[in-house]
Structure 1
Amino acid sequence: MATGSLGTGVLAELWESASDGRVQCTACAHRCTLDPGQRGICDVRINVDGELRLLTYGKVSDSPLGRPGTVDPIEKKPLYHYKPGTRVLSFGGASCNFACQFCQNHRIAFAKPEDLELRDVSPTAAANSATDQHCESVAWTYNEPTIYAEYVRDGAQAAQNEGLGTVIVTNGYFTEEFADLLAPVLDAANVDIKGFRERPHVKYMGSRLAPTLRGAEYLVDRDVHVELTYLTIPDLNDDPEEIRDFAEWAFGLDPDIPVHFTRFHPDYEMQDRPSTPIQTLERAHDIATDVGLEYVYVGNVPGARYSDTVCPDCGKTWISRRGFEASIETDLSEPCQCGREKDVVL
C-alpha cells in the first residue's frame, strides 16, 4: 500500500516527556528531543501533541504480492553460530538513524516513510508467514530496527509464541532502554561495527563510536547471542592498528564471539574506493586470531579461506560453507572429538 495513510502512527513506549510539550526519544543513542510536530533523525518517530508516536508500526518495505517477508539463509545476516543451515524470514522498513555514505540499502534507508510503498504486516502475520515458508526464525534487517523498536518487540514476541527464533541486524546505536525492551524476546543479533575510530564515524556515518560499542555490550550482558561484523573499507578503517584495537575490544566482550570481516564494495556516495583486497581481509583475520578471538571469518568473498567453522582446539571442521550455503559436518549438539563444547546455538 502507499503510505499516504501514515496518519499519526501508534503511541511509542521508548520516550519521556520534556518541558513545553517536548518529548525525548529513548530508543536510539541520538536521544532526540522533539518539539510538537517534529520528527527524529530517523524520520519515523514524531512528537504529536506531546506524545511520541511511531509512524511505521506494522509497515514494511516489501512486495504487495505473495506472502510477506523475504526468505534468506541465516548465514546471510551474517550469523554463523545461530541455527546454522536454516532459513530466516527477513523484514525491513523505512529510513535509518545513520547516514552511511556507503549504504547498500540506501533506497530504503535514506527514504522518508511516505516516499515508499510500504506493506501492512502485523506481528502475528509476520510470524505466520515465517511458519508458512518453513523458516526457523524471523529477522528485522535491511534498515535499522532500533527506530521501530516497538514493532520489533511485538513481532519477536509473536514469533517466539510460534516457536520461532528472533534476530536483529543492527548498527548497535541504541540505548539501554531499547536493550531492556528487546532482550527478553531476542535470541540473536549481528552488530555492525563500522570501524574503530571516532572521526570517520562522525564524518561518514553521522554517528559516534562509543554508543555502538555499548549497544553490543548491552546485548552480550543480557545473554543475547551476538556476532560482530566489521565492514573493512580501504583507507578508511583497514589500518592494522585499528583492526587490532577492534579485535581487543571484541575479545574483552567474549573470546568466543564470532567476528566477520566483510568485503566492501563501492556503493551510494562512496564509489571512489576499490573493493577490499582479499589480502586485507586475511590480514584482519590473522590480527584478530593473534589477539585470541577463536571464531574469525572472512565474508562477502566467494570461496574465502576463512568461512568454515572449525574447532579452535583440534581444527576439526564443524560447519563448511560455500557462499551462504552451510553443510553441517558433525553433530553440533555433541562435544567435539577433543572434548570441547561446540559454541553454536541450535
Structure 2
Amino acid sequence: MSTFDDAAGVPAELVVETDDGLQCTACAHRCTLSPGQAGICDVRKNVDGELRLLTYGQVFDRPTGPPGTADPIEKKPLYHFHPTSRVLSFGGVSCNFACEFCQNNHISFAGPEDLELREVSPEEAVESARTQDCAGVAWTYNEPTIYAEYVRDGAELAKADGRYTVIVTNGYFTEEFIDEVGPYLDAANVDVKGFRDRPHVKHMGAKLEPTLRGAELAHDAGIHVEITYLTIPDLNDEPREIREFAEWVRDELDQSVPIHFTRFHPDHEMRDRPATPVETLERAAEIAREVGLEFVYVGNVPGHADNDTRCPDCGTTWIRRNGFRASVEGDLDGTCDCGRKIDVVV
C-alpha cells in the first residue's frame, strides 16, 4: 500500500504548453495549470513546470491477494461484447465530474491524499488477469480518462497478452485521448447522464456536448460502444428528452448500438428522489425502439424481459440474462436463423 506523495506518479504525456501554463489534454475540461495547481480531477498536477499524473499505478483495492476485481462483463454493462466472460476491473480515486447521485462517491469524491491506494503496475495488472482467468481488463469504478497514461500502458500489455480491454467512462475525453489510448481499447460503455445541458452542468458539474462528442469519437475509432442512460425521475426522464437522446444515437452513432436505460437508486447527495419506476424505463425503451434503435435494454431490474438480447428482425433470443448471469442461446459467431448477422462481439 502507498500513501499520497506530491512527487509520486509519472510525467503526464497528454499535455501542451501555453502562455498561461500547462494545458492537460486528457479530458475535455482542458485545465490550464500554473505551478502547484491540480486539475479538476485532483490527480493531474503542475509540479514545478511539469504536468504529473500523481496516481499512475495506484488503485483502490484490497491490500493483499491478486489485485483487481473479477467481474462479469455484463456488470459494466456490456451486453454485446464477449458475453459470459470475466473481466478484471481496476479503479482509482477522484473524477472529472461531480455527480450528485454518484454510487461510487467514496472513491470518486476522494483525492489521492484521502485514501490508501495499492500500487499495481500495468504488468502486475495483466499478470493478475492471467492468474484469475479473466478474458479482459477494465478500467472502471471512477473515471479512467483522468489516468489516461496508466490505462494506455495497461491496455497495450493486455492486448499483447491476448486479452480484451474496456473502459467504463463518462465520455469526457478528447481527440488526443482517443489518438493516444484508443488504439489499445476494444470496448467502452459511455454513461450519458441526460440530454439537457443546464441540468447536466448543475448536477454533474460538466457540459453535455463533450460527452456526446466522446462517444462519437470512440465509435468512429472502431471501439465497440454501448451507451448507458441513467434514468433519473424528474431530471432526465421526460419523453421528449428521451426521444432526442435516441435520435442522437441513431443519427450520430448507429441504430445497432446497444442502449441501457438504467434504473436510478437514491445515493450520495440525491436522496430526495425515488428509485426510477419500472414503467418509466419501459416507456423510455419503447420510445427508443420507435425511433429505430435495435438493441434497447432495461437495466438494474433483474429478471426483466428487456435484459435479453433478441434478433431485431425475427425475435429469436440470442442471449438470456438474469441480473449479471447470462446464457448464450446457440452460436453467436455467425448469423441468426433468419439470416441476419448477429451483432455481438465474441
TM-score between the two structures when normalised by the length of structure 2: 0.99
Q: Take 2:9 and 2:151, find their aligned partners in 1: how far apart are those partners? A: 15
Query: In structure 2, what residue type is equivalent to 1:238?
Result: D
1:145–1:170 CA contact under 8 A, matched in 2:
yes
Query: In structure 2, what residue type is equivalent to 1:99?
Result: A
Q: Take 2:2 and 2:336, find their aligned partners in 1: how far apart are those partners? A: 53
User: 5+ residue gaps in structure 1?
Assistant: none
Q: Take 1:73 and 1:325, find their aligned partners in 2: how far apart are those partners? A: 8
* 1:152-231 matches, cutoff 5 A: 152-231=151-230
1:126 matches 2:125? yes
User: What displacement does 1:9 show?
Assistant: 2.1
Q: Take 1:342 and 1:72, find their aligned partners in 2: how far apart are those partners? A: 24
1:17–1:50 CA contact under 8 A, matched in 2:
no
User: What displacement does 1:12 show?
Assistant: 0.6
1:9 matches 2:13? no
User: Residue in 2 aligned with 1:286?
Assistant: 286
User: Residue in 2 aligned with 1:266?
Assistant: 266
Question: Aligned to 2:307, what secondary structure does the other structure show?
Answer: coil
Q: Take 1:68 and 1:19, find their aligned partners in 2: how far apart are those partners? A: 42
Q: Take 1:5 and 1:174, find their aligned partners in 2: how far apart are those partners? A: 26
Question: Aligned to 1:3, what secondary structure does the other structure show?
Answer: coil
Q: For the aligned residues, what is the CA RMSD? A: 0.8
User: What displacement does 1:51 show?
Assistant: 1.4
2:4–2:112 CA contact under 8 A, matched in 1:
no
User: What displacement does 1:8 show?
Assistant: 4.0
User: Residue in 1 aligned with 2:114?
Assistant: 115
User: 5+ residue gaps in structure 2?
Assistant: none
The Cα offsets for residues 246-270 of structure 1, whole Å up to 9 and x where unpaired, read as 0000011101000000000000000
The Cα offsets for residues 63-117 of structure 1, whole Å up to 9 and x where unpaired, read as 1111000010000000000000000000000100000000000000000111111
User: Residue in 1 aligned with 2:298?
Assistant: 298
1:100–1:206 CA contact under 8 A, matched in 2:
yes
User: What displacement does 1:4 show?
Assistant: 3.0
Q: Take 2:118 and 2:160, find their aligned partners in 1: how far apart are those partners? A: 23
The Cα offsets for residues 157-208 of structure 1, whole Å up to 9 and x where unpaired, read as 0101110000000000111100111111000000000000001111001000
Query: In structure 2, what residue type is equivalent to 1:320?
Result: R
User: What displacement does 1:2 show?
Assistant: 3.5
1:89 matches 2:88? yes
User: Residue in 2 aligned with 1:45?
Assistant: 44
Question: Aligned to 1:332, what secondary structure does the other structure show?
Answer: coil
User: What displacement does 1:48 show?
Assistant: 1.3
Q: Take 1:51 and 1:19, find their aligned partners in 2: how far apart are those partners? A: 14
2:194–2:236 CA contact under 8 A, matched in 1:
yes
User: What displacement does 1:6 show?
Assistant: 5.0
Query: In structure 2, what residue type is equivalent to 1:60?
Result: V
User: What displacement does 1:5 show?
Assistant: 3.6
User: Residue in 1 aligned with 2:236?
Assistant: 237
User: What displacement does 1:227 show?
Assistant: 0.1
User: Residue in 1 aligned with 2:245?
Assistant: 246
1:165–1:187 CA contact under 8 A, matched in 2:
yes
